Amino acid sequence: MHPRVFSFTLQAADGAARAGVFQTPHGPLFTPVFAPVGTQGTVKAVTPRDLVDLGASLILANTYHLYLRPGDELIRGLGGLHTFMAWDGPILTDSGGFQVWSLSAINQIDDEGVTFRSHLDGSLHRLTPERSMAIQQNLGADIIMCFDECTTPFDHQYNRIALERTHRWAERCRAAWTNPDRQALFGIVQGGIYDDLRRESARTLVGMDFPGYAIGGLSVGESKEDMHRILETVTPLLPEDKPRYLMGVGTIPDLINGVARGIDIFDCALPTRVARHGAALTRQGQITIRNATYTRDPAPVEEGCDCYTCQHFSRAYLRHLINSQEILAHILLSIHNLRALIRLAGDMRAAILEGRFTSFAAETLANYHSPKDEQGEPQ
């Protein structure tokens, strides 16, 4: 039995969409919930005080980056990640597996772990399931991830090899998990775009009885149809009384489609990444504020938005900041974009509780116009 401190209560459902509460040592998470990404212990261009004002309740930080700089033992010595980054709410850390796969110039994977060179200075490092767990325990996040192998989603033969390795690593992570009363360990369902592998992964991990389950290896180049099909395959196999986390997915349509298929938790660096490129997220679609069409536009980024940016500044002013290369442009657009996704999660939760999620989702998606590139890349 897992400690009640990490209990998940399902409060309502509308089709597959769920509204619940996940209890953590640093407070409850009311789901669906979107987590801003603070890769290196900070959400880019946004202070913790701003995050509170935005309604953020969960922050993601990255094991790989914090291990390399400033070091997990240093963070532990300074009171853990909550104290270090001055965030009193729940924190989630990923295992570092995705970054080893995507960022390190040279990596070599074997059954014991991964040897890789740092993207910072080329130094050689070794990451194993046990080492990933030790780093995450030093960081002290409320939710931690099993070390997994994330690979290309299009090779069935290699995905089977990676899947079996991920399951063995999950067993080793579970054995190295020493403080279940302070940290909830999530297993990560892998298997690329292949239904048979995804079903096998879900059933294997559910048999290990984790406090929650993540779905990894999506938003890495597969089609939206593949993503939706995989979610429809996996979520019915996961326990109803455990939270479900879709890793690295964060566009407005992706959140809606994920919730419609039973997902509770999301994270993505997209809102702050596109902010740094002068773009804003709205329920009508992503808009590029740097475009000349907004030169004299007195309107806020999005009518009806309650964020600080929309309540005080015009599109014309934001375009001026962008073209003047002022840091304030990144700050204000990041505030809006994060609030857009946090507000969407709250609106979906309210719709589920009131039994109107299906109509809410259909109307919102009908009014949304997708930009050409909406892939959520790591920050």
Q: How far is CA 311 from CA 17, 69, 189, 279, in A?
A: 31, 37, 41, 18
Structure tokens at 145: 């991830």
**Strand, helix or coil for residue 61:** strand
Active site residue 94: yes
Spatial separation of the C-alpha atoms in residues 309 and 297, rounded to whole Å: 15
DSSP letter (8 states) at residue 10: E
**Spatial contact of 211 and 187, defined as CB atoms under 8 Å apart:** no
Catalytic residue from among 14, 148, 264, 267: 267
Q: Which among 167, 313, 188, 183 is positioned nearest to 248, based on CA atoms?
A: 188
Give φ, ψ of 55 to 5 degrees. 90, 15
Exposed/middle/buried for residue 76 (C-beta within 10 Å: 0-12, 13-18, 19+): middle
Structure tokens at 315: 């599109």
Active site residue 14: no
Other C-beta atoms lying within 10 Å of the C-beta of residue 359: 11
What lies within 8 Å, CB to CB, of 188 at 6+ separation is 95, 145, 146, 148, 166, 170, 205, 213, 214, 215, 216, 247
Angle at the Cα of 357 from the Cα atoms of 247 and 363, rounded to 5 degrees: 95
Catalytic residue from among 14, 50, 94, 264: 94
What lies within 8 Å, CB to CB, of 74 at 6+ separation is none
Spatial separation of the C-alpha atoms in residues 304 and 223, rounded to whole Å: 32
**Spatial contact of 279 and 318, defined as CB atoms under 8 Å apart:** no
Q: Which among 314, 147, 340 is positioned nearest to 256, based on CA atoms?
A: 340
Structure tokens at 373: 């590139």
77 φψ region: left (φ > 0), alpha (ψ -120 to 50), beta (else): alpha
Structure tokens at 258: 């994920």
Spatial separation of the C-alpha atoms in residues 368 and 361, rounded to whole Å: 11
Mind telling me the catalytic residues? 94, 267
